[in-house]
Structure formats: C-alpha cells, structure tokens
Amino acid sequence: MKRILLTWASSGLGLELAKLFTEKGYEVIALGRHKPALDIPHISLDLTSGESIQHCVQEIHEKYSDFSCLLHCAGDGKVQLIQEVEYAEAETTFKLNAIGPLTLTTWLFDLIKKNESDVIVIVASIGVKWVQHMTTYGGSKWWMRWLVENLQAELKWTKSRITGVYPWQLDTQSMSWPNGRKSQLEKITGKKETISPMDPKEIAKIVFDIYALPKNIEISEIIINRK
C-alpha cells in the first residue's frame, strides 16, 4: 500500500507534505475543508463537526480503506492574553486541534490495525513546552501529545508506527500573515519578532524521511527547534 490520508493539505506544511509524498509515488488523499491546488483526491472534512467527520470516515471506508498512513497536519490557534480567552473560541480551537483529530483516528482505528498503518501527528513544539500568551492553543496541543502517546500504548504490539512531530514556528499563513501569530505576539509584547520561522518544505522532508525508514524502525518523537 502507498496511500496517505492527509489532513489540511491545502496550505502550509500540509501542502508541502502532499507535494512531496505525491512526487515520491504515493497516492495522497486530502482531507479538509479546502481542496489543495494539486491533482489529488479530496474528501471534504470539517474537524469541528462530528457529522462531517462521520461522512469523511464513511467515504474512506468505501473508497480508500487500504491506506498506509494517517498523517495529521490540521491545526490552528492564536496568541492572546489569558484573561481574553472566550469560551466559543476555545471550544473551536480544541475541536480543530484535538477533539476532531482524536475522533477521526478512533473512528478509523479498526482500519489502522487491519492495515498496520502508521500514524504521524504534526503537533507543535508548544506541545512539549508551554509558551506565554498561548493558553488555549497550547492546551489543545498538549492534548494532541496525549493522543500520540495513547496510540503508542494502544498499538504497541502491532507493526503500526506512531510518531509525534513537534516543530517550532513555521513560515505558514497561520504564523506569518498580517494577522498571524507572529503579528499577534508583537501586538501583545510590543516587541518585534526577529527570528524567522522555519521553511515548511524542510520540515516536510524530515517527516517523509521518518516515514520512509524501514518498518521495524519507529521514531516515536521528534522535536525540531530553530537556531
């Protein structure tokens, strides 16, 4: 099997992963609200909606059940003062970053076991180290870290490999656009952010190389920092 289920393949790191895996001969199935600008299959998926996840899982069962890897790349969040966190916004962040991916994975769990599929979860470095002004975003990413470690326990005696990837800031829309996290942080602190985010193309290469290792080699966790 050479089929990858990839969430959020329409931009940023997800798009770079879709391009790279496709170039390497894999069939990439894009799961997300927006179809990427690539000639690859797309299944509509809103990770904040249980009904949408259910429809997506059903289509995977019907058309793409023999996948070799589930690659979680969806996620977003904002920088904000802790006293300004609003319930509705926090709820949406946790649905997108944690509850949605968890639900998608558990509803595909039987296929993951049957296929001996790998699961790669792109979390964020905030999933291993707290950062000021990112309470909601950081909390949801720590939940994703729990998902990685729980899957490692659940699939310990199988051939499935579970990898958590924790990159630092990437040069994506969520980070670098006019109202991205970089701009939000500068407004709160009053300080200019001088360290440039990392190139998502380089992170995509690292993720692919990890996946391409022999099946009996599992990289359980990789933390990617910037200098």
Q: Which residues contact 181 (CB under 8 A, 6 or more apart)?
A: 77, 78, 79, 169, 174, 175
Q: Does residue 57 sit within a domain?
A: yes
The tally of domains found in the chain comes to 1
The predicted pLDDT at position 197 comes to 79
- Answer yes or no: is pLDDT of 13 > 80: yes
Over residues 152-210, the pLDDT tens digits come to 999 999 999 999 999 987 765 555 555 555 555 556 566 676 667 789 999 999 999 99
Taking a C-beta distance cutoff of 8 angstroms, is the pair 38, 22 a contact? Answer: yes
The predicted pLDDT at position 174 comes to 56
Q: Does residue 180 sit within a domain?
A: no
Q: Does residue 190 sit within a domain?
A: no
pTM (predicted TM-score): 0.90
Q: What are phi and psi of 27, to 5 degrees?
A: -90, 120
Q: Distance between CA atoms of 200 and 16, rounded to whole angstroms? A: 7
- Answer yes or no: is pLDDT of 3 > 90: yes
The domain of 215 spans 3-170+199-224
> Which DSSP letter does residue 179 get?
T
Q: Does residue 73 sit within a domain?
A: yes
Q: Does residue 146 sit within a domain?
A: yes
CATH number, residue 111: 3.40.50.720
Q: Does residue 181 sit within a domain?
A: no
Taking a C-beta distance cutoff of 8 angstroms, is the pair 88, 132 a contact? Answer: no
Q: Does residue 184 sit within a domain?
A: no
Q: Does residue 188 sit within a domain?
A: no
Q: Distance between CA atoms of 153 and 60, rounded to whole angstroms? A: 25
Over residues 106-131, the pLDDT tens digits come to 999 999 999 999 999 999 877 677 77
> Mean pLDDT, to the nearest integer, of 92-100?
94
